[in-house]
Amino acid sequence: MRQHKLTKILVHGIIAVLASSQIVATPPKNRPKTYKKKKSDPEETVQENSDRSQTTSAVSIETGNRLAIFEFEGKEISVPLTARMTEEFRNTVRRLNIFEVQDRGLTQRINIFRPETDDYWDCWNKDCAVERGKLLGVNYVIAGTIEDSDENQYLIKGRLYSVDLESLMNDFSFNSTGITDSLLLGMKKLAYDVSGLPIPDTLSIGADTTKIVDLAVEKDKSRFRLPDIDIPDKIKSLLLSTVVPGTGQMYSKRKYVGMGFLATEITLAGFAFIWQSDYKQSWGGFQNTYNSYQNLTDPKELLELRPDIIRYARETKRYNNLMRNVRNLGLGIWVVNMIHAYIVGPEELYEGNILFGTEYDDGSQSGSGPGMTAWDLASGFGVRGMMLRPFVKNTALEDYRNHTSGGFKIKTPVGFTLGPIRTFLQYEISNYTFDQKNYDNENVISGFNRATIMNIDYSNLLRIGGESVEKSIFFGLTRSGDGNGIMTGMDIGFKIDAEVPLYISFFGRTNSMKSPVHGDMFWVTAGANLGVDIP
Amino acid sequence: MSIYRNRIGIILVALAVCWFACEEADYQLDNLSDPLNLGLTPPAIFFHPSSFNIDVNDTFSVKLYSYDLPDVAGAHLQVLYDRGSLQVDSVITDTLFRIEADPLLFMDDAEGVLDVFLFAMPTQTVENVSGTDAMARIFFNVISPGISELVYGDSTRIVNAQNIPVQIESYGKAVVDAQ
């Protein structure tokens, strides 16, 4: 009966996740943004050009803001340095969130269209740039060059073309002194310039020099860097979801679908743990009774053992089937997740080189538009699968052995805030098992603790560990087949990624239970849980 | 990238331990002492054990066993044995007819025919017993070598509290190899 309920919960959970995924599967429309003309900078020299007359002071880009940045051409400097500077330029423009910057891999597709050259600076005139921009399906293109004009003097030049308007939008150049102190800074300034944003004061020579030195040191320290292989983004998305379900979707800016996949897999894993625990009990019972049957000679005892053996054997088969089913379901969802990750992989996406999104995410997927979405309703909820094991127990349990168990808990947004302290309600189902001998049902204390828990988050009170570490204490009332009780404990959660509310937590807790059969039971448990919270 | 690899590793380990399927129970209920393997049709009575290899001058015991008897309150168990090879030493009651007190036991041993009479002592609420259990236990002395059988005689009869006989479908037997 218990299993039947669990199965119903599982089915409803999957339906809910799939329904939610359907709702958020529609890619968000990009909000129109206004491109403003760059502000002048005293340090830079803007070259006059014959096409200058075509530059507009303010351009609406409501038709689209997709930008392809061609590889800068290096003159008298190495190709890797040019590529590095171009990528730095791309990343900076991308982070400024004015343009949707096409990834390098996609921009390089120009090689397929025009295999005869990869020297994009050759594409200096308007017609060539517009033609290639159309081939790449972007609204804007930038072509540029980095030239070592003198000893440690670098001249960075570039042009911004509108593919839609078929015109030159901006023509810029910049002088930089010394590769180690200002070339990188120059590319960043250029990115601000191209994006029409004021160049911040923090982009000073001194600050940038420090950053470059830090980067150099960091590079030296990092001995296990992956080779810089240019993997297509769709394949990256597929690989990520192959390794961890949902992460490919997160990479492809489908965070909530990704979290849905991950939460579903975690939930299935929780069920698998529960059924595995039941299986172990049945298997232990089977082994005990079957061994007794083989060794005993008394007909009465043998006859009494028969139904137990058959029952335990059936139970092991049943729980094994449940585990197989949940495993197959999990693997099926895993495969679907992989296919989905490949399909939604960022072929046409122009943003997001960061695994779990960018820090400039405009929240367009979070249902912030008009109308309430399923995710709005689900906001504040979370699900976590857990593993736990008792390590201290009182005299009522001293003759029993400890066993690792599983469970899951659902976090709700129900709670209140009292100054720096936040509270929220949780519901948890976890298994506990103590046995005297090989999990035999006759010698086991086992059941499901259904707990209603009040969680008190004091992270804002005690800021050790920063924002990515959640610290809380909790207490709750428990109910199980063995009796009612109280649970108290503490939990330290680590946010695995800054952008995705994926947590791994470690907890310690006390459990007390008043059992009419076993007396007053008390045990202390330690464990870990993994799960997601819906922001 | 290495940071992500660490994160992925943590998640992977947490998930990987979940994917399992275990051994399924495989069994053969073939214990020779199991009444279901004796080829008897219940309700039945049989000897347990059903074979003995005994030295001369040794003593052994055999249980008179019921198999899935319906409600009964008394029994006349007639056991035929080879008086040239075996000699009845004693007979004691066993657990089937025990309600709260031990049952009454009478016996008559003459010329290889042992008659055992058992009567359950009813209480105010229980007057019958049932099921599979030992009714009585007979101790034999082996006096000479030879192979002989223990069988139930035709006078064997089991009745309920109303003295109505219960139909016994099968009778077991035992083989004694005395050397």
The mean per-residue pLDDT over the stretch A53-74 comes to 62
pLDDT of res. B115: 94
Last residue of a domain, one of A354, A372, A390: A372
The mean per-residue pLDDT over the stretch A366-381 comes to 56
Binary contact (A504, B18; C-beta < 8 A): no
> How many CB atoms lie under 10 A from the CB of residue A514?
13
The mean per-residue pLDDT over the stretch A363-385 comes to 59
- Give the sign of the dihedral formed by CA A339, CA A344, CA A347, CA A351: negative
The yes-or-no verdict on residue A224 having pLDDT over 60 is no
- For residues A66 and A176, membership in a common domain is answered with yes
Question: How distant is the Cα of A105 from the closest Cα of chain B, in angstroms?
Answer: 18
Give domain status of residue A205, yes or no.
no
The mean per-residue pLDDT over the stretch B35-54 comes to 91
Local confidence band at A190 (pLDDT 50, 70, 90 cut-offs)? confident
Question: How distant is the Cα of B27 from the closest Cα of chain A, in angstroms?
Answer: 8
Binary contact (A323, B20; C-beta < 8 A): yes
Give domain status of residue A476, yes or no.
yes
Question: How many domains is chain A built from?
Answer: 3
Give domain status of residue A204, yes or no.
no
Q: How far is CA A339 from the centre of its chain?
A: 18
Residue with tokens 């005293």, as numbered in its chain: A42
Percent of chain B with pLDDT over 70: 88
Binary contact (B29, A355; C-beta < 8 A): no
Q: How far apart are CA B69 and CA B167, in angstroms?
A: 9
Nearest chain B Cα to A247, which residue? B8
Last residue of a domain, one of A345, A372, A399: A372
pLDDT of res. A293: 92
pLDDT of res. A228: 54
Binary contact (B10, A504; C-beta < 8 A): yes
Binary contact (A317, B31; C-beta < 8 A): no
The yes-or-no verdict on residue A57 having pLDDT over 70 is no
What proportions of chain A, in percent to the nearest 5, are helix, strand and coil? 40, 30, 30
Nearest chain B Cα to A354, which residue? B1
In tens, the pLDDT along A397-417 reads: 888 888 888 888 888 888 888
Question: How distant is the Cα of B34 from the closest Cα of chain A, in angstroms?
Answer: 5
Cβ atoms of residues A390 and A432 within 8 Å: yes
Give domain status of residue A224, yes or no.
no
- Stronger pLDDT, B24 or A5, i.e. the higher one: B24
The mean per-residue pLDDT over the stretch A517-525 comes to 90
- For residues A286 and A357, membership in a common domain is answered with yes
Of A222, A272, A320, the CB nearest to B24: A320
Local confidence band at B80 (pLDDT 50, 70, 90 cut-offs)? very high
Binary contact (B22, A286; C-beta < 8 A): no
Using a CB-CB cut-off of 8 Å, the residues of chain A touching B11 are 244, 496, 502, 530
What string of H, E and C letters represents the secondary structure of A155-167?
EEEEEEEECCCCE
Give domain status of residue A525, yes or no.
yes
Percent of chain A with pLDDT over 70: 68
Question: How distant is the Cα of A313 from the closest Cα of chain B, in angstroms?
Answer: 5
A306 touches chain B (CB under 8 A): yes
Using a CB-CB cut-off of 8 Å, the residues of chain B touching A355 are 4
Nearest chain B Cα to A223, which residue? B2
The yes-or-no verdict on residue A351 having pLDDT over 90 is no
Q: How far apart are the first and last CA of chain A?
A: 34
Question: How distant is the Cα of A480 from the closest Cα of chain B, in angstroms?
Answer: 24
Binary contact (B12, A243; C-beta < 8 A): yes
Most confident of A133-147, A431-445, A506-520: A506-520
Most confident of A148-162, A308-322, B112-126: B112-126
Cβ atoms of residues A48 and A168 within 8 Å: no
pLDDT of res. B58: 92
Local confidence band at A329 (pLDDT 50, 70, 90 cut-offs)? confident
- For residues A43 and A186, membership in a common domain is answered with yes
CATH number, domain at A45? Answer: 3.40.50.10610
CATH topology for B33-178 is: Immunoglobulin-like (2.60.40)
Per-residue tokens: A258? 């990704």
Nearest chain B Cα to A266, which residue? B15
Using a CB-CB cut-off of 8 Å, the residues of chain A touching B29 are 293, 306, 309
Mean pLDDT of chain A: 72
pLDDT of res. A357: 39
The mean per-residue pLDDT over the stretch B139-160 comes to 93
Last residue of a domain, one of A372, A406, A429: A372
The yes-or-no verdict on residue A21 having pLDDT over 70 is no
- Stronger pLDDT, A59 or A167, i.e. the higher one: A167
Binary contact (B12, A496; C-beta < 8 A): no
Give domain status of residue A122, yes or no.
yes
Q: Which residues of B touch A (CB under 8 A)?
A: 1-2, 4, 7-8, 10-12, 14-15, 18-25, 27, 29, 31, 33-36, 48-49, 65, 67, 131-134
The yes-or-no verdict on residue B90 having pLDDT over 90 is yes
Local confidence band at A59 (pLDDT 50, 70, 90 cut-offs)? very low
- For residues A385 and A526, membership in a common domain is answered with yes
Cβ atoms of residues A78 and A84 within 8 Å: no
The mean per-residue pLDDT over the stretch B60-86 comes to 93
In tens, the pLDDT along A281-312 reads: 888 888 889 999 999 999 999 999 999 998 88
Local confidence band at B176 (pLDDT 50, 70, 90 cut-offs)? very high
The yes-or-no verdict on residue B64 having pLDDT over 60 is yes
The mean per-residue pLDDT over the stretch A61-78 comes to 75
The yes-or-no verdict on residue A220 having pLDDT over 50 is no
User: Which of A158, A177, A167, A173 has the alpha carbon at shortest distance from A140?
Assistant: A167
The mean per-residue pLDDT over the stretch A219-235 comes to 58
Binary contact (B12, A244; C-beta < 8 A): yes
- For residues A289 and A305, membership in a common domain is answered with yes
The mean per-residue pLDDT over the stretch A157-174 comes to 80
Q: How far apart are CA A382 and CA A78, in angstroms?
A: 50
- For residues A108 and A21, membership in a common domain is answered with no
pLDDT of res. A45: 36
Local confidence band at A55 (pLDDT 50, 70, 90 cut-offs)? very low
Binary contact (B2, A224; C-beta < 8 A): yes
Using a CB-CB cut-off of 8 Å, the residues of chain B touching A313 are 24-25, 27
pLDDT of res. B77: 94
Query: Best mutation site among B17, B22, B130 for testing chain A: the one with the most A CBs within 10 Å?
Result: B22
A275 touches chain B (CB under 8 A): no
Cβ atoms of residues A507 and A387 within 8 Å: no
Of B12, B14, B132, the CB nearest to A300: B132
What residue segments make up the domains of chain B, in order of their start? Answer: 33-178
Query: Best mutation site among A300, A310, A353 for testing chain B: the one with the most B CBs within 10 Å?
Result: A300
Give domain status of residue A219, yes or no.
no
The yes-or-no verdict on residue A465 having pLDDT over 80 is no
pLDDT of res. A381: 81
A231 touches chain B (CB under 8 A): no
Name the residue range of residue A502's domain.
380-535
Using a CB-CB cut-off of 8 Å, the residues of chain B touching A226 are 1-2
Local confidence band at A178 (pLDDT 50, 70, 90 cut-offs)? low
In tens, the pLDDT along A232-284 reads: 778 888 888 888 898 888 888 788 888 888 888 888 888 888 888 888 888 88
Angle separating helix axes A233-243 and A299-343, nearest 10 degrees = 160
Binary contact (B21, A247; C-beta < 8 A): no
The mean per-residue pLDDT over the stretch A34-39 comes to 37
Q: Cis omega (within 30 of 0) on the bond before B49?
A: yes
- Stronger pLDDT, A363 or B116, i.e. the higher one: B116
Give domain status of residue A32, yes or no.
no
pLDDT of res. A4: 52
Task: Give me the total of CB pairs closer than 8 Å, taking one residue from chain A and one from chain B.
Answer: 106
- For residues A321 and A445, membership in a common domain is answered with no
pLDDT of res. A118: 45
pLDDT of res. A353: 40
Using a CB-CB cut-off of 8 Å, the residues of chain A touching B14 are 269, 385, 504, 528, 530
Using a CB-CB cut-off of 8 Å, the residues of chain A touching B65 are 299
- For residues A234 and A362, membership in a common domain is answered with yes
- For residues A293 and A414, membership in a common domain is answered with no
The yes-or-no verdict on residue B173 having pLDDT over 50 is yes
The yes-or-no verdict on residue A364 having pLDDT over 50 is no
- Stronger pLDDT, A462 or A117, i.e. the higher one: A462
Region of poorest pLDDT, from A416-425, A515-524, B52-61, B96-105: A416-425
- For residues A396 and A522, membership in a common domain is answered with yes
Of B7, B8, B65, the CB nearest to A299: B65
Most confident of A118-132, A148-162, A484-498, B119-133: B119-133
pLDDT of res. A41: 40
- For residues A299 and A397, membership in a common domain is answered with no
The yes-or-no verdict on residue B71 having pLDDT over 90 is yes
Binary contact (A300, B31; C-beta < 8 A): no
A217 touches chain B (CB under 8 A): no
How does strand B174-178 pair with strand B51-54?
A: parallel
DSSP 8-state class, residue A228: -
Using a CB-CB cut-off of 8 Å, the residues of chain B touching A276 are 20, 22
Cβ atoms of residues B132 and A307 within 8 Å: no
- For residues A53 and A143, membership in a common domain is answered with yes
